[in-house]
Amino acid sequence: MRPVPVVFHLGPLAVHTYGIGLAITFWFAYRYFARRLRRAGYPDGWLATTFVWVVVSSILGARAVHVLANLSYYERHPGQVAAIWQGGLSSFGGLLLGVPVGFLSARRRCPQLRPALAADLLAPVLASAWALGRLLGPQLMVAGGGKPTHAWYGMYYAGEVGRRLPVPIFQAVECFVIFLAALGLERLVRRRGGPVGLVTAVTGGLWGLSRFVDERFFLTHDNGTLAVEAASLAFFALGAAIGLVLWRRTRPAPSPGPPLADALGAPAVEEPAPLAEPARR
């Protein structure tokens, strides 16, 4: 089976499937987030401008972190620094720059939307967009596969020799499971009055754990680094810690139980009655 074409031509114009996949993913995320805003009772007219800023900053941050992580290569090939159509975008870099820009823009254009609530509304959107983006992005780019394999599910990727683990497909399945978990937790929080921010913490923690597994076991040393593994574990630990704190803060205080003797089944010891004062004659 031949690899999926990563570029096709419309006359003199070269169109990269990777770029088309990213455009579709961004469009999906925009539409889905706008829908969730409306269903939560917030306006979405401000989102278009904010979304443009988020897309631009996310791509810049993702590319900058990727270049820094592979600086030795780009020092030898400086002309490739801007070649994002060939792949090379770091998810952590996109979050690092895109998320703060998005929150700052939302705070200015929709001040009634609290940041923690905005994050909870956004978390399932990001998880579902990552699931779609893995299939329409790295799956369709040069060198998108993982470690070499002879397994039946191995696939051929442009720029790589032999069958490779279809890591983008693995990641799409992982993110889709995280998306379903986020929606389930969101319903649970809404029904039981859980804390705002819990959906974001759990979604981020699960995503960090999945990224660590991918980097550690599926990707090669060329596209997986110790720095990414460390960042993934930190993401998981931070999400787990925040989620635990939020959950414990909102749990109702336990009602006082029976005395220790009653709880253990021992007979209660009666206190002696106070001695009566002697009658005065």
Handedness of CA 8, 11, 14, 15 (dihedral sign): negative
226 found inside a domain: yes
265 found inside a domain: no
What's the structural domain count of the chain?
A: 1
- Give, for all 281 residues of the chain, the pLDDT tens digit: 566 677 877 778 777 788 888 899 999 999 999 999 999 999 999 999 999 999 999 999 989 988 887 888 888 888 888 877 666 788 888 999 999 999 999 999 999 999 999 999 999 999 999 999 999 988 888 888 999 999 999 999 988 889 999 999 999 999 999 999 999 999 999 998 889 999 999 999 999 999 999 999 998 765 557 888 999 999 999 999 999 999 887 765 454 544 433 433 444 444 444 544 444 44
203, burial (CB in 10 Å: exposed 0-12, middle 13-18, buried 19+): buried
Helix, strand, or coil (residue 267)? coil
Q: Which residue has the tokens 């455009």?
A: 23
pLDDT of residue 22: 86
144, burial (CB in 10 Å: exposed 0-12, middle 13-18, buried 19+): buried
116 found inside a domain: yes
Q: 58: domain range?
A: 7-251
**Helix, strand, coil distribution of the chain in percent, nearest 5:** 65, 5, 30
Distance from the Cα of residue 69 to its chain's centroid: 20
Least Cα distance to 4 among 127, 143, 125 occurs for 143
Q: Would you say 127 and 178 are in contact if contact means Cβ atoms under 8 Å apart?
A: yes
Q: How far apart are CA 127 and CA 120, in angstroms?
A: 12
pLDDT of residue 260: 36
Report DSSP state, residue 216: I
Q: Return the number of other C-beta atoms located less than 10 Å from residue 75's C-beta.
A: 10
274 found inside a domain: no
C-alpha distances (whole Å) from 7 to each of 26, 76, 97, 132, 162 are 20, 25, 29, 19, 20
Structure tokens belonging to residue 20? 């088309």
260 found inside a domain: no
Residue type, position 119, single letter: A
pLDDT of residue 222: 58
Residue type, position 152, single letter: W
167 found inside a domain: yes
Q: How far apart are CA 116 and CA 124, in angstroms?
A: 14
Structure tokens belonging to residue 179? 């998306």
41 found inside a domain: yes
124 found inside a domain: yes
Q: How far apart are CA 61 and CA 55, in angstroms?
A: 10
pLDDT of residue 7: 80
